[in-house]
A and B are shown apart, each in its own frame.
Chain A
Amino acid sequence: MKQANRNGVDDPLVRMQGIVKRFPGLVANDCVDLDIRGGEILALLGENGAGKTTLMNVLYGMLRADEGTIELEGEELDVRSPRDALGAGIGMVHQHFCLVEDMTVAENVALGLSPGNPGRWQVGEITGRLEQLAELHGLGVDPGALVSDLSVGERQRLEILKALYRGARVLILDEPSAVLTAEEWRALAEALRSLAAQGRGIVLITHKLDEILHVADRCTVMRHGRVVGTVAVADADKAQLARLMVGRDVDLRIPYEPSEPGAEVLSVEGLSLEEDGRRLLDDVDLTIRAGETFGIAGVEGNGQWPLVQLLTGLRQPSSGSISVGGRRVERMDPAAFTAVGGGLIPEDRHRTAVAEDLSLSDNLIMKEISTRPLSRHGVFDRGATEDRARQLVEGYDIRTPGISVLMRQLSGGNQQKAVLARELVREPVLLIAAQPTRGLDVGAMQFVYEQLSAHRRRGGATLLISAELDEVLSLSDRVGVMVKGSIVATLSHEQTDRETIGRLMTGVAA
């Protein structure tokens, strides 16, 4: 169904139709249509898991769609790799840059520019053209500087320049402002407008409503792998956008029981973490009491993981204090966190919680191994550990052929159950649960909720961090909304409603 090769003014530069992309256990893109027009900046808005980055990765050739077509200027396009995409004029700047630190700006641009030509690379030519581009669009970087000496904003500019140098006419940026200061964002916005004015199509993947209103011409909203609407920004209403973004199709009903919180368990004052001139955590104050669940709502990447790292002692704060049970902890480290009664269900269990090459039994008992009755004088009792492991398997409904199977042989849901078992059986005073139901099926999710409720009923305090708004709203006694490293608002259970939270999450003042 090829159209005539003639691009009218209203014909889009890129047209994606019926894109379907499936992964084991979920459909990331569910029959998505998207138009990218030349001369305009399109914002792609959605929460985590909405499928925006997946869609763009398909366009950029990093993933292959299972169904659907992509047309560039009316001609069907088959991109199998980023190189194909670049050749077709589509460039993408990811959140994690792909730069060689040890080489200069010019060298990074030169890499792979002339395939099949081993000879001298053209320093002068590249430097000259880079300076031209910088002049033209305000994307200045010193061509002779080493990447390791560049700031994050400059590195991002370099990534853009790399794409521009190869003649990109479509430029996709994935959450570009996440790593920038306000100043740098303003400069970038200018540059993007300049680039668009030259006829290029710019796509901004973002969740920040303010930015969209600031720089975008149109906005397409995605949710759970589908497009829920496309609006012209000039006509858009913030509330409308927020609603489009966070509305739910399926309601997971988790009954909420009000309760009386007890004594203070965790208190955090003025907690901050700085890195490379950026404040990952900005003056966070937080108090959680026994029997209380404090939920943190917010799009990922706004300081949640640094907060967890500081509370569990994986990193040290730049300033501020942490007190547990009313007593200030001078220096937190993972062992101390466990010792004061902390439990952690981390969001990336493969990296942090689970030893895949060890057995299920080993993983279950790893935090208790040095205590009686499991071990005595440094030798552990086989029988006792096995009994304990079996106890946990039964109590937490872990589906497994046996306790000696390797952890990696269990499904994600069962691995998570094992982590829960290990942490909860110690009846922690404070449980930090980060994205506890990610990647789990409905049954496993339900189980997790039940366990969290049981822990709460027992008087345990919980810090719940989740990108699933429903989860946070249903389970929490109080909800804090985290944006750019600080808690911008704290609401009680009765005060929360999806619209308000949605707006707060996207950086718009309530």
Chain B
Amino acid sequence: MSARRIFYAAEPTLFSVLVAIVALAIAMVIVALSGNSPAAALEALWEGAFGSTSRIASTLNAMVPLVLVALGWIFAFRSKRVNVGLEGQMLIGGALSAAVALEIGGLPLAVHLPLAVLAGLLGGALYAGVAAWMWARRDVNEIVSTLMLNLIAVQVISWLVRGPLQIPGSDLSRTAPFPDSSRWPQLIADTALRWDVLVPVAALVLAAFVLNRTTFGFRLRLTGANEEAAEHAGVRVKRVGVTALAISGGLAGLAGSSVLIGGQTGTMTDGFAAGIGFEGIAVALLARNSPVGVLPAALLFAVLQQGGGLMEARLGIPSNLVLVTQGLVIVFVAAGTFLLRRRRRARVSAAGTGTGQGAVVDGSAVEGVA
């Protein structure tokens, strides 16, 4: 393999790394402009994420929902479906999980926990199923429908924590604490790290396997690459799309469940998803929509999240800076994806091995010469 070839193959990864560096750099510029020391800020970020066993545990714990949501996005996206409703699916999945945790009593951990986790998965999958149904049967653009469903989900949670699932006799908008039998046990005592950290790892391995080694994964990728060719190859495109969206939602539901029964607070409150549904999309984009890159990308976001807290406590830098950095990452990745695609096409045609029929513009072949 020539050096050039290696460079081209590595280009997407290099790009992602570059995006992360640039976004952080801009954030540090803002820090400097407001009179703080970027070095101190970076140090605080690092320490906040890795400074002690307890902190490392929290960082790892924060990665769990991010990885799951990112995988959810990837599954849908690879089959050409854009699921921006991951936040809502997290909420509903988490809520169903919480309901199972709270309402079903007297079960041992070995039964209660898996039930709650399963409920999370089902909740998310079914909620995504609404959008999937609307797409398959009514030709409704899933971008718009999932956006609306997000906002409906917010209201559902708001109602649940002030109504049916509220602590009886209390005015607070939260549920009662989940019983221990329904919560993930701690991996390292007295830290935030719980056994659910294995779930994203398993999910990653499973996702990579399904996508690359199973016929279902093949059909999914084929549908995303060329729907008509897939039809000719005997693939039922609508079925694949719906399944992809359901899996996507299920993963998001798992993420929501993890936040609740794998989290420290042990209760459900308003907005517990806290924007992770969108951060996960950023993680997936930064990982170039491939399961392989999800871990490092999620780590970056988790570091920012955890480190931001210490940065604020120690230096008084508002943790909103973390949001700014994340927003910049998303924006840069969006801009860069287009540029990368354009460079790749230009390179292919320049090398003379392009499709012999003439320029391909925007992925749609130009009609033949008349």
State yes or no: do A and B touch (Cβ within 8 Å): yes
- The reply on B365 being an interface residue by CB < 8 A is yes
Residues of A with C-beta under 8 A to B357:
350, 412, 438-439
- The reply on B353 being an interface residue by CB < 8 A is yes
Residues of B with C-beta under 8 A to A189:
none
Which residues of B from 326 to 370 have beta carbons under 8 Å from A? Answer: 348, 353-358, 360, 364-365, 368-370
Expressed in whole angstroms, the Cα–Cα distance for A243 and B316 within the complex equals 87
Partner of B222, one of A48, A362, A410, A439: A362
Residues of A with C-beta under 8 A to B215:
369-370, 375, 378-380
Partner of A378, one of B214, B348, B353: B214
Expressed in whole angstroms, the Cα–Cα distance for A369 and B216 within the complex equals 10
Contact between A49 and B369, CB atoms less than 8 A apart:
yes
Residues of B with C-beta under 8 A to A312:
232
Expressed in whole angstroms, the Cα–Cα distance for A174 and B370 within the complex equals 10
- The reply on B231 being an interface residue by CB < 8 A is yes
- The reply on A231 being an interface residue by CB < 8 A is no
Closest to B360 in A: A350
Contact between B216 and A378, CB atoms less than 8 A apart:
yes
Residues of A with C-beta under 8 A to B232:
312, 334, 337-338, 344, 352-353, 367
A180 to chain B, nearest CB (A): 18
Contact between A53 and B370, CB atoms less than 8 A apart:
yes
Contact between A366 and B216, CB atoms less than 8 A apart:
no
- The reply on B233 being an interface residue by CB < 8 A is yes
The contact string, 1 if C-beta is below 8 Å from chain B, for chain A 403-426, is 000001111110100000000000
Given contacts A24-B358, A380-B218, A439-B356, contact A408 B348 (CB under 8 A): yes
Q: Point out which of A28, A337, A350, A412 has the most chain B C-beta atoms below 10 A from its C-beta.
A: A350
Q: What's the count of A-B pairs with C-beta under 8 Å?
A: 117
Expressed in whole angstroms, the Cα–Cα distance for A372 and B358 within the complex equals 38
- The reply on A25 being an interface residue by CB < 8 A is yes
Expressed in whole angstroms, the Cα–Cα distance for A193 and B356 within the complex equals 42
- The reply on A440 being an interface residue by CB < 8 A is yes
Closest to B351 in A: A409
Expressed in whole angstroms, the Cα–Cα distance for A25 and B353 within the complex equals 12
Residues of A with C-beta under 8 A to B219:
369
- The reply on B225 being an interface residue by CB < 8 A is yes
- The reply on B229 being an interface residue by CB < 8 A is yes
Given contacts A369-B215, A375-B215, A439-B368, contact A357 B356 (CB under 8 A): no
Residues of B within 8 Å of A, CB-based: how many?
32
- The reply on A283 being an interface residue by CB < 8 A is no
B221 to chain A, nearest CB (A): 7
Contact between B369 and A26, CB atoms less than 8 A apart:
yes
Closest to B232 in A: A334
Residues of A with C-beta under 8 A to B364:
351
Contact between B355 and A411, CB atoms less than 8 A apart:
yes
Partner of B348, one of A26, A350, A380, A409: A409
Contact between A54 and B353, CB atoms less than 8 A apart:
no
B224 to chain A, nearest CB (A): 8
- The reply on B213 being an interface residue by CB < 8 A is yes
B9 to chain A, nearest CB (A): 11
Given contacts A358-B222, A369-B215, contact A338 B370 (CB under 8 A): no
Residues of A with C-beta under 8 A to B234:
334-335, 338-339, 367, 370
Expressed in whole angstroms, the Cα–Cα distance for A358 and B357 within the complex equals 19
B299 to chain A, nearest CB (A): 28
- The reply on B180 being an interface residue by CB < 8 A is no
Closest to A335 in B: B234
- The reply on B228 being an interface residue by CB < 8 A is yes
Partner of B355, one of A337, A350, A367, A382: A350
Contact between A54 and B226, CB atoms less than 8 A apart:
no
Expressed in whole angstroms, the Cα–Cα distance for A353 and B365 within the complex equals 13
A37 to chain B, nearest CB (A): 24
Residues of A with C-beta under 8 A to B348:
408-409
Given contacts A49-B370, A358-B222, contact A379 B356 (CB under 8 A): no
B11 to chain A, nearest CB (A): 14
Contact between A350 and B365, CB atoms less than 8 A apart:
yes
Q: Point out which of B219, B360, B368 has the most chain A C-beta atoms below 10 A from its C-beta.
A: B368
Given contacts A352-B228, A366-B229, A367-B233, contact A412 B356 (CB under 8 A): yes
B30 to chain A, nearest CB (A): 38
Contact between B233 and A366, CB atoms less than 8 A apart:
yes
- CB within 8 Å of A: which residues of B? 213-216, 218-219, 221-222, 225-226, 228-236, 348, 353-358, 360, 364-365, 368-370
- CB within 8 Å of B: which residues of A? 23-26, 28, 48-49, 51-54, 174, 312, 314, 333-335, 337-339, 344, 348, 350-358, 362, 366-367, 369-370, 375, 378-380, 382, 408-413, 415, 438-441
> What are some 24 contacts across the A-B interface (CB < 8 A)?
A25-B356, A48-B368, A51-B369, A314-B231, A334-B232, A334-B234, A338-B233, A350-B355, A350-B365, A351-B228, A351-B365, A355-B229, A355-B230, A362-B218, A367-B232, A367-B233, A369-B218, A370-B215, A375-B215, A379-B215, A412-B355, A412-B356, A413-B356, A440-B356
- Known A49-B369, A378-B214, A412-B356; further 12 A-B contacts with Cβ < 8 A: A49-B370, A333-B231, A334-B234, A335-B234, A337-B232, A338-B233, A338-B234, A350-B357, A355-B226, A358-B225, A362-B222, A369-B219
Complex A-B, nearest 10 residue pairs according to Cβ-Cβ distance, in ascending order: A412-B356, A355-B225, A350-B365, A335-B234, A53-B370, A355-B226, A439-B357, A334-B232, A334-B231, A366-B233
